Amino acid sequence: MTETTLSYLNSLISKYTPSSTYFDAARTHRSGIHARLDWQLGVREMFETGSLKHGTGVWLYSDVDYIVSLKGARPTPTTALNNVRDALKDRYPNTTVRVSRPAVVCEFAKGDETVEVVPAYDAVGGGYWIPDPKSGDWMKSHPKDHNSYVNDANKKHSGAAKKLARLAKTWKYKRSVPVSSCYLEMRAAKYASGEVAWSLPIDIYQYLKNLRDIELAAMNDPTGLGSRFNAYSSDSTKVDSISKLDTAVSRASKAKNYFQAEDHALAIEQFKLLFGQ
């Protein structure tokens, strides 16, 4: 039986969907991280966030992400990151521990069990202050509300938001696009929630074209609670991202046209180029 464009895309989504146990090894480090940070810095709360929590992680690429709300007065973001890094370096001397804003990255098992720890401070009125990767200052974030927003958007079109987000992240990772995963996910949720009809081969193109039309502009927090979402961390990464986005839009456009002409073989060929398969 000839493979259709939609069946190919669904198989790609399935391929890059982590199993229910995929992150279990990385999760085993949670108690040690919590204990060390609580001992040295004081922890109010520690919880999972990011693609793992949202159900949009990508097999072989996504990490376990934690937000750690710390006690005491809020220092500069650089100081907070360095404090967390140094505490975890002391706890795990044989593990690579480094700062990669907005997180401290712990590469357990030589990177096979990577955990990212985002230092945070409670914000008055709700939410958390976390390091802003672009400005170097603090930014206000409401990760629990963002998770609810993605889940609500995903109820439309039989889980379209998370499917689109996973494909967007697969493109990012396979094509080494220096754009924020969180940004891609929130844009995907917003796009899916605004669509009346849904056809994945067409909507991939429309989603990427929209990103290109707005030139990866910062996005207002759709919950109306936190800071804006930035797509990139510097002008140089923007140039690289836009260049790769141009190529992606061109390939997605060709794939869409072939799909609409019912030439599934050529449509799949273009999607394979798009997603680096």
Q: Measured between alpha carbons, how far is 74 from 196 in angstroms, rounded to an integer?
A: 44
Of 256, 257, 187, residue with least CA distance to 9: 256
pLDDT of 51 over the 80 cut:
no
pLDDT number for residue 139? 87
Give the CATH class of 24-143.
Answer: alpha beta
Kindly state the tokens that stand for 52. 């793992």
pLDDT of 223 over the 80 cut:
no
Average of pLDDT values for 59-75? 91
Of 56, 86, 48, residue with least CA distance to 160: 56
pLDDT, one tens digit per residue, over 232-242 is 878 888 999 99
215: region left, alpha or beta (phi > 0 left; psi from -120 to 50 alpha): left
Q: How confident is the model at residue 147 (pLDDT cuts 50, 70, 90)?
A: confident
pTM of the full predicted structure? 0.88
Query: Percent of the chain scored above 90 by pLDDT?
Result: 63
pLDDT, one tens digit per residue, over 158-214 is 889 999 999 999 999 999 999 998 899 989 999 998 889 999 999 999 999 999 999
Domain ranges within the chain, ordered by starting residue: 5-17+146-274, 24-143
